[in-house]
A and B are shown apart, each in its own frame.
Chain A
Amino acid sequence: MTAPTDRQAVTPELEAAAERAASRRGVLIALPSWAYLSLFFAIPLVIVLVYSFATRSSTGLTQLRDWNLDSYARLWDPLVGEIALRSLLLAIATTAICLAVSYPFAYYIATRGPTARNILLVLVMIPFWSNFLVRTYAWRVLLGTDGPLSQLTQALGGEPIRLLFTNTAVLIGLVYGYLPFMVLPLYAALERMDWRLVEAARDLYADGWTAFRKVTWPLSRPGVIAGSILVFIPTLGAYVTPAILGGARTTLLGDYIVSQFLAARNQPFGSALSIAVMSVMLAATILYFRSGARNL
């Protein structure tokens, strides 16, 4: 054992060495996640970026030479614009409906007692226990022409409903699938709310609705922003739900990109589309955060 007197006094050099050692330990801790993200996220992303400037041979192979911007030029094709607009409207509609449905529900959960709160939260998360694909197929049964919904309308003397393979079916499926992603951040924001602030507003002559508008809503905005991003981004590029519930006439960005890689065998154009969609999402996210962060 070393006697305490053997220890050297601290000098700037020793301090620097100790700090270097601490930062090396930090790198070591982050190493597994760095390795995983590089291998399965960063490198594929770079490949997509490189491919977007490549050329497609007549046989559909990607040739890594004759670098050009042709794929990006094709983004201005009216067809792409039409598909992008349809995807955008669908994503906005999904986000808006999710928000309108989730906010009152999250508010309800956040204002319950601890026991009721936990039960309700578990109920919100139950869908995650089964596979997303399976749940989406279940909607196919529900919405089908001979499905329970249709049988109900017919039993009531109405027409059989024809929802499946329409945009409405996709919208229903998307809202269903992404609802928990809106509820949870909203709940987290409302749960952290200091309700005395609402009391203070009521005390200062605000009626219930005004107190909500002036206090609860602005203070829950971080949750609204987080939830909206969590719903908007995946629905903008959604592939599985439109593929299962949507029709052939309702191509969305997700299917379109997939078809470029698989059917049209135009990897450079598919890559360019992917990069473009990602850039727009990133820009929108940054703008959205900035606009919301000002009032936090």
Chain B
Amino acid sequence: MTDAVTLQGVTKQFGDVVAVCDLDLAIADGEFFSLLGPSGCGKTTTLRMIAGFEFPTTGSLKIHGQEMGLEPPNKRPVNTVFQSYALFPHMTVEENVGFGLLMKKLGSADIAERVKRALDMVQLTHRAAATPKQLSGGQQQRVALARALVNEPEVLLLDEPLGALDLKLRQAMQLELKDLQERVGITFIYVTHDQDEALTMSDRIGVMNEGELLQVGVPQEIYEHPTSRFVADFIGEINLLPAVVVDHETVRLLGNHPISASTGAASGNEVTVAIRPERFELYDLDEPIPEGMNRIEGTVSRRIYHGDVFYYDVDTPAGVIEAKEENRPGVELYEVGERTIVVWAPAATSVVQE
């Protein structure tokens, strides 16, 4: 089977600025793929190149095996849901949704039928005659979605489509979008700077920074096994501790403290150890600790109540470690100034290069 979208060695320059640098990426048919990164990382430029709003400076861009790099947007089998929706303010909801079909010169009966089905799908049939201004943000978002999907594109491009919605609505729409994607079976390429969104919805995530694609993988892989300091730091909360590689399964933290971790780097290399706060457990000094676990002793310097969890800062010879403990009934609390042992599994320890 051919991939839905393939980019090979794609570079985009704006004058002297390199927005996207030598990007290689293959997105499978029917996949929900997210491009994740901070603003200015090149994710939107990549999306715009797939849409046809920008042309690559060099490289190959194929959609279903066909070279499309320099085709204008109207000649590509893709549709876009824009960040601020870009609904036509001078047209009704119905006219907005029917625009693409009208451009494709379908018969008016056919258009009416498909527009109706698309509006049904996003539950907006009752607002067909409204203008975009009369709709709420969430409704506009749905119209934008219907306007793109009604054309049955091979690939749907979404540029931070939930960015303008408030938190509750955004969470509801995340699930709705994911359901919708599974129903229609179209390849979704989703651009976002919101890691929660990417983790929740995607089949695979590509993390970008400064025009480069740093890591591609399923959400769990990206979260649990970041391969670079940037990816580790960008996604979720994480402890980054400087360390030196001892052998292929041991690194030494500051304070000459050895711990077990799969290193994959040459002995003597300076690396960063990345551990998620929720992977730590706090033990009393006299409590028995399971075999094979990493441990380090320290003093609690801060405790923050966060409703569902407690955050602890623990001062250790290796640096300050942030640990997160669930607020379960009967959970043992540590007071500031108390000594404790921070315990975690070697498998939860990622070793990343700079």
Q: Which residues of A contact B (CB under 8 A)?
A: 194, 196-197, 199-208, 210, 214-215, 218-219, 295-296
B103 within 8 A of A: yes
Q: Which residues from 81 to 110 on chain B have a C-beta closer than 8 Å to any C-beta of chain A?
A: 82, 84, 86-90, 99-100, 103-104
Bound-state Cα–Cα, A96 to B4, Å:
49
In this complex, what residue of A is CB-closest to B147? A204
Q: Closest residue of chain B to A199, judged by CB?
A: B53
CA distance A199 to B84 in the complex (A): 12
Is B151 interfacial (CB-CB < 8 Å)? yes
A295 nearest CB neighbor, chain B only: B90
- Given A200-B80, A200-B86: 16 more A-B contacts, CB < 8 Å: A197-B88, A200-B82, A200-B88, A202-B72, A203-B52, A203-B79, A203-B80, A204-B74, A204-B99, A204-B100, A204-B103, A204-B151, A205-B104, A206-B99, A207-B74, A219-B89
List the 6 closest pairs (A to B, CB-CB), nearest first: A204-B100, A205-B103, A200-B86, A202-B73, A196-B86, A205-B74
B-chain residues with CB within 8 Å of residue A206 when the two chains form the complex: 74, 99, 103
Residue of A nearest to B74 (CB): A205
Q: Are B74 and A202 in contact (CB under 8 A)?
A: yes
Q: List 19 A-B contacts (CB under 8 A).
A: A196-B84, A197-B86, A197-B88, A199-B53, A199-B80, A199-B82, A200-B86, A200-B88, A202-B73, A203-B74, A204-B74, A204-B100, A205-B104, A206-B99, A207-B72, A207-B74, A218-B90, A219-B90, A296-B90
CB of B118, distance to nearest CB on chain A (Å)? 13
Contact A215 B88 (CB under 8 A): yes
Instruction: Let me know if B51 is at the binding interface, CB within 8 A.
Output: yes
Kindly list chain B residues whose C-beta atoms are within 8 Å of the C-beta of A200: 80, 82, 86-88
A201–B99 contact, CB under 8 A?
A: yes
Cβ contacts under 8 Å, B73 to chain A: 199, 202-203
Chain A, residue nearest B89 (CB): A219
In the complex, A295 Cα to B133 Cα: how many Å?
13
Contact between A199 and B90 (Cβ–Cβ < 8 Å)?
no
Q: Tell me whether chain A's interface is mostly helix, strand or loop, or mixed.
A: helix
B interface residue count range (under 10 / 10 to 19 / 20 to 34 / 35 or more): 20 to 34
Bound: A219/B88 CA distance, A: 9
A204 to B106, CA, bound (A): 13
* Complex Cα gap A210–B88 (Å): 14
Given the known interface contacts A204-B151, A206-B74, the answer about A199 and B86 at a Cβ–Cβ threshold of 8 Å is yes
Please state if A210 and B103 are interface contacts (CB–CB under 8 Å): yes
Contacts of A214 in B (CB 8 A): 88, 99
Query: Contact partner of B52 among A194, A197, A202, CB < 8 A?
Result: A202
B346 CB to nearest chain A CB (Å) = 49
What are the residues of chain B within 8 A of A197 when measuring CB–CB?
86, 88-89
Q: How far is the CB of A99 from chain B (nearest CB, A)?
A: 20
Give bound CA distance, A204 to B129, whole Å: 20
Across-interface contacts of A207 in B (CB, < 8 A): 72, 74
Inter-chain contact A203/B51, CB cutoff 8 Å? yes
A residues in contact with B80, CB < 8 Å: 199-200, 203
Which of B82, B104, B151 has the most C-beta atoms of chain A within 10 angstroms of its own C-beta?
B82
Interface residues of B in 37-80 (CB under 8 A from A): 51-53, 72-74, 78-80
Give CA–CA (A204, B86) in the complex, Å.
12
CA A224 to CA B89, docked complex, whole Å: 18
Interface centre among A199, A202, A204, A215 (most CB of B within 10 A): A204
A109–B90 CA distance with the chains assembled, in angstroms: 24
CA–CA, A201 and B82, complex, Å: 12
Inter-chain contacts of B79 with A (CB < 8 A): 203-204
A199, A202, A203, most chain B CB atoms within 10 A:
A203
Q: Closest CB of chain A to B48's CB: distance in Å?
A: 9
Provide the residues of chain A in CB contact with B72, threshold 8 Å.
Answer: 202, 207-208
B324 to chain A, nearest CB (A): 41
Q: How far is the CA of A175 from the CA of B43 in the complex (A)?
A: 48
Q: Specify which chain A residues have a CB less than 8 angstroms from the CB of B147 in the assembled complex.
A: 204
Q: Please, which residues of chain B bring their CB within 8 A of the CB of A199?
A: 51, 53, 73, 80, 82, 86
The distance in angstroms between the C-alpha atoms of A24 and B349, with both chains bound, is 73
C-beta contact mask, B326-339 vs A, less than 8 Å → 1, else 0? Answer: 00000000000000
Q: Give per-residue flags for B132-147: 1 if the beta carbon is below 8 A from chain A beta carbons, else 0.
A: 0000000000000001
> Counting chain B CB atoms within 10 Å of each CB, which of A201, A205, A219 scores highest?
A205
Q: Is the CB of A196 within 8 A of B82?
A: yes
Quote the shortest CB–CB distance from A194 to chain B (angstroms).
7
